[in-house]
């Protein structure tokens, strides 16, 4: 996404020309047969690229996003169904195929042109150009909390409203009455004056032949009957009865299994390989060296070092064979690198102050600092973090006769299709990707490294191969959330008012607004310095917000304490120019009972972070005993603009809180001798059910455009937790995870 700059896009003049490509709505005679062949089933009519109507009057919403437990498919189906006036009891969803016709053109409207008022006459042209661009870049991504706020707003609502318009026009023509006299309700068309009624299915074929509008009239929120309701998620029944299909469920004739080993130190190559003991195991069919592969794209890019795979008749035998191998790896020059040396590197980078990439520079920081009554400085640091999805990385590939079929659970199926074609040297049309449900994604499954290994193996053995990474391989060869360091300096007057805010941090990622603060500080200087490492990194839930939330919201707490002020009240006074933020902060504090006394060893902390169009404030209550931090309660206030599926929003906030607590309490990928030390859940802990706190979520429908839900619950967790620990103990924790501070907190208990 960082390559999609608004300036480059508009400067290229794409907005001024081009023609609409099929995918927004079907235009008769233009690739209709191809679209229908992709998604139309028996007795179904594809009325719109995203909507099918069956002869039984059921509606299927075709969703161009992956299902990884977040429930976005249900929310998107709600948006389409409500604008369509469908009967929710007759609504289903299916995932769009990995095809260019379902590339995410909506990213253009919702990201590049978010603040641009595109004239209605240009919308078909803009959407068509965006689809062409998204198709060429392989963009069918699920991430960045984009599903509802981008695809829902610019795709699903349009699809539903446009299809409703088509059906009304078809009925009006058949009944020879004005279109405006046709009413719709729960999947039926009605002409009140004549008393005629019909099901949507009765006019589906006729509607599909009409030219759609690309700028339909939407419902007013007061007219919603499905949006804003907590409906049953459409994916849950199959997950409960076991019929849901995950990638690990794939079984093909003549299929074999494989697992893989990569170098402990990233990017090393095989120096020597002894396969005798492995090949002596009955059921082990072969040992294969997979060549180093390099492929780059805006979403699925990776550098895949050389690896060794064992193919066998079962996964267990493949793993046994892998353990029997004697592999010696080449030296990379990074064998002496450790987490300590990397933090020293970060500190040295920050100390130079050279080549700063500015995020914001307002006012005159130097002048304000010079006249300050006192100053506060602090440095924070966070470790690398793994994703640890519950479902191990796996993919099944069949590469024969110049074609590739891939079964995988991924966050960008169209991007994976592009990647397979590039790596295997095949034509794009000769690759098919069958995307399945995922047992978690969190950004890890937008990368195609493991799927590429499966495809390369399948080509080599000439039969279907299901590749499964062990948990150890997953932990030690992730695309980690970057480790980082952030330095702050605040200048205050003699009343404790903030005059200046200076922040320098290492290794900027996305999104660009993550380090910015909402507080009214007249003089600000925020910027990053590059300090690269040999450790592969990538997107992790909420991306840079998960780091900067901890940095900035911990430091503003320090500033408040130094000024002799209550942390909540101090923030409150600094948010006069941001009423939405202020309302969220006040709601969280009120709901949590901010200011009520806490018992000995107990504390309460607060934090605020805007991310992905949603503002979240959290209050966390803790008990600290013998250095052990127990999280008792989390209260979250969430201004999501408009919650399409309130229950889904609450579930995602709870999920984000638990993911954030795992990271803040325990998450620590450490580097020793150039390699990752951790290997499984015994030394890379997660919050367990018995540790889970009470979580309360308060949703604010402010009337703004819907924001994201999947990532926004995580960023405020770590700072609210650290601030609560300070409130309980007087110890300021500036390094995560908190487990590292156990000895320091124990000393405080003893004192």
- Give the per-residue pLDDT at 303: 55
Mean pLDDT, range 659-687, rounded to an integer:
98
- Give the per-residue pLDDT at 373: 97
- Look at residues 410, 445, 468 and tell me which one is the last residue of a structural domain: 468
Read off the pLDDT of residues 291-350 as tens digits, 9 standing for 90 and up: 876 554 434 445 557 899 999 999 999 999 999 999 999 999 999 999 999 999 999 999
Verify that 49 and 193 share a domain, yes or no.
yes
CB atoms within 10 A of CB 564: 9
Mean pLDDT, range 135-142, rounded to an integer:
92
- Give the per-residue pLDDT at 19: 28
CA 3 to chain centroid: 18
Read off the pLDDT of residues 587-616 as tens digits, 9 standing for 90 and up: 999 999 999 999 999 999 999 999 999 999
Note whether residue 692 is domain-resident: yes
- Look at residues 468, 494, 526 and tell me which one is the last residue of a structural domain: 468
Note whether residue 285 is domain-resident: yes
3-state helix, strand, coil in the chain (%, to 5): 35, 25, 40
- Give the per-residue pLDDT at 38: 87
Instruction: List Cβ neighbours of 727 (8 Å cut-off, separation of 6 or more).
Output: 598, 603, 604, 605
Note whether residue 1 is domain-resident: no
- Give the per-residue pLDDT at 296: 46
Verify that 460 and 498 share a domain, yes or no.
no
Nearest to 713 by CA among 607, 627, 629: 607
Note whether residue 715 is domain-resident: yes
Verify that 68 and 199 share a domain, yes or no.
yes
Verify that 505 and 581 share a domain, yes or no.
yes
- Look at residues 422, 437, 468 and tell me which one is the last residue of a structural domain: 468
Retrieve residue 521's tokens. 């500080």
Read off the pLDDT of residues 226-258 as tens digits, 9 standing for 90 and up: 999 999 999 999 999 999 999 999 999 999 999
Burial of 22 (0-12, 13-18, 19+ CB in 10 A): middle
Dihedral angle sign, alpha carbons of residues 419, 425, 427, 433 = negative
Verify that 607 and 707 share a domain, yes or no.
yes
749: confidence class by pLDDT, cuts 50, 70, 90 = low
DSSP letter at 219?
P
Note whether residue 474 is domain-resident: no
Verify that 215 and 177 share a domain, yes or no.
yes
- Give the per-residue pLDDT at 125: 82
Number of folded domains that form the chain:
3
127: confidence class by pLDDT, cuts 50, 70, 90 = confident
Residue 216: CATH number of its domain: 3.30.365.10
Instruction: List Cβ neighbours of 500 (8 Å cut-off, separation of 6 or more).
Output: 363, 365, 368, 369, 372, 489, 490, 491, 521, 522, 523, 524, 525
Verify that 350 and 307 share a domain, yes or no.
no
Verify that 42 and 140 share a domain, yes or no.
yes
Alpha-carbon distances of 576 from 32, 435, 705, rounded to whole Å: 53, 47, 22
Note whether residue 475 is domain-resident: no
- Give the per-residue pLDDT at 12: 36
Verify that 566 and 699 share a domain, yes or no.
yes
Read off the pLDDT of residues 393-438 as tens digits, 9 standing for 90 and up: 999 999 999 999 999 999 999 999 999 999 999 999 999 999 999 9
Nearest to 617 by CA among 607, 632, 631: 607
Note whether residue 473 is domain-resident: no
What is the domain range of residue 272? 247-332+393-468
Mean pLDDT, range 143-168, rounded to an integer:
96
Verify that 443 and 411 share a domain, yes or no.
yes
Note whether residue 595 is domain-resident: yes
Verify that 145 and 271 share a domain, yes or no.
no
Phi/psi class of residue 730: alpha, beta or left (left: φ > 0; alpha: ψ in -120 to 50)? left
Phi/psi class of residue 453: alpha, beta or left (left: φ > 0; alpha: ψ in -120 to 50)? alpha
Verify that 324 and 433 share a domain, yes or no.
yes
**DSSP per residue, 693-719:** PEEEEEEE--SSPP---TTTTSTTHHH
């Amino acid at each position: 996404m960082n390559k999609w700059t608004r300036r480059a896009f508009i400067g290229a003049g794409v907005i001024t020309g081009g023609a609409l490509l099929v995918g927004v709505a079907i235009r008769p005679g233009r690739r209709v047969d191809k679209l229908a062949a992709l998604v139309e089933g028996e007795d179904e009519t594809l009325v719109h690229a995203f909507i099918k109507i069956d002869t039984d009057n059921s509606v299927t919403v075709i969703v161009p996003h992956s299902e990884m437990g977040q429930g976005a498919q249900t929310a998107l189906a709600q948006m389409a169904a409500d604008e369509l006036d469908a009967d929710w009891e007759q609504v289903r969803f299916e995932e769009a195929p990995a095809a260019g016709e379902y590339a995410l053109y909506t990213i253009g409207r919702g990201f590049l042109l978010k603040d641009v008022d595109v004239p209605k006459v240009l919308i078909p042209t803009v959407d068509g150009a965006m689809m062409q661009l998204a198709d060429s870049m392989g963009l069918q991504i699920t991430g960045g909390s984009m599903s509802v706020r981008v695809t829902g707003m610019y795709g699903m609502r349009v699809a539903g409203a446009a299809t409703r318009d088509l059906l009304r026009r078809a009925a009006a023509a058949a009944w020879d009455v004005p279109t405006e006299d046709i009413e719709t309700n729960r999947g039926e068309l009605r002409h009140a004056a004549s008393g005629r009624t019909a099901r949507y299915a009765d006019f589906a074929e006729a509607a599909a032949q009409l030219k759609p509008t690309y700028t339909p009239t939407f419902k007013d929120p007061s007219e919603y009957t499905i949006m804003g309701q907590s409906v049953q998620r459409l994916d849950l029944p199959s997950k409960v009865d076991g019929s849901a299909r995950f990638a690990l469920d794939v079984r093909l004739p003549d299929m074999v299994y494989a697992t893989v080993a990569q170098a402990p130190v990233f990017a090393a190559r095989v120096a020597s390989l002894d396969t005798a003991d492995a090949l002596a195991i009955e059921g082990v069919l072969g040992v294969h060296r997979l060549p180093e592969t390099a492929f780059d794209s805006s979403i699925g890019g990776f550098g895949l070092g050389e690896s060794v795979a064992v193919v066998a008749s079962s996964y267990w035998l493949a793993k046994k064979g892998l353990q029997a191998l004697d592999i010696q790896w080449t030296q990379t020059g990074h064998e002496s690198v450790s987490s300590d040396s990397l933090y020293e590197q970060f500190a040295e980078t920050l100390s130079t102050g050279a080549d700063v990439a500015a995020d914001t520079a307002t006012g005159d920081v130097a002048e304000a600092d010079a006249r300050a009554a006192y100053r506060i400085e602090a440095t924070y640091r966070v470790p690398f973090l793994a994703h640890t999805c519950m479902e191990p990385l796996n993919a099944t590939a069949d590469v024969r006769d110049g074609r590739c079929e891939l079964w995988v659970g991924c966050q960008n199926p169209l991007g994976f299709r592009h990647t397979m074609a590039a790596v295997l040297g095949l034509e794009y049309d000769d690759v098919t990707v069958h995307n399945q449900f995922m047992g978690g994604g969190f950004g890890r499954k937008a990368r195609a490294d493991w799927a590429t290994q499966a495809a390369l193996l399948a080509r080599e053995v000439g039969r279907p191969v299901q590749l499964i990474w062990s948990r150890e391989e997953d932990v030690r060869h992730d695309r980690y959330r970057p480790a980082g360091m952030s330095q702050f300096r605040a200048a205050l007057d003699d009343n404790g008012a903030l005059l200046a805010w200076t922040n320098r941090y290492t290794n900027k990622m996305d999104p660009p607004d993550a380090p910015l603060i909402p507080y009214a500080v007249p003089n600000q200087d925020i910027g990053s310095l590059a300090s690269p490492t040999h450790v592969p990194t990538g997107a992790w839930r909420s991306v840079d917000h998960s780091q900067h939330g901890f940095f900035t919201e911990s430091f503003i707490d320090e500033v408040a304490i130094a000024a002799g002020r209550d942390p909540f009240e101090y923030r409150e006074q600094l948010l006069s120019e941001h009423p939405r933020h202020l309302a969220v902060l006040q709601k969280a504090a009120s709901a949590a009972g901010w200011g009520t006394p806490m018992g000995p060893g107990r504390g309460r902390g607060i934090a605020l972070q805007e991310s992905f169009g949603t503002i979240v404030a959290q209050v966390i209550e803790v008990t600290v005993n013998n250095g052990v931090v127990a999280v008792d309660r989390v209260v979250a206030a969430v201004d999501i603009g408009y919650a399409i599926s309130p229950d889904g929003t609450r579930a995602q906030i709870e999920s984000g809180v638990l993911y954030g607590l795992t990271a803040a309490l325990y998450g620590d990928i450490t580097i020793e001798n150039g390699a990752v030390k951790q290997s499984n859940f015994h030394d890379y802990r997660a919050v367990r059910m018995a540790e889970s706190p009470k979580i309360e979520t308060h949703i604010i429908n402010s009337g703004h455009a819907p924001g994201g839900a999947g990532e926004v619950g995580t960023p405020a967790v770590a700072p609210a937790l650290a601030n609560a620990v300070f409130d309980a103990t007087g110890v300021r924790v500036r390094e995560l995870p908190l487990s590292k501070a156990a000895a320091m907190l124990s000393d405080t208990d003893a004192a």
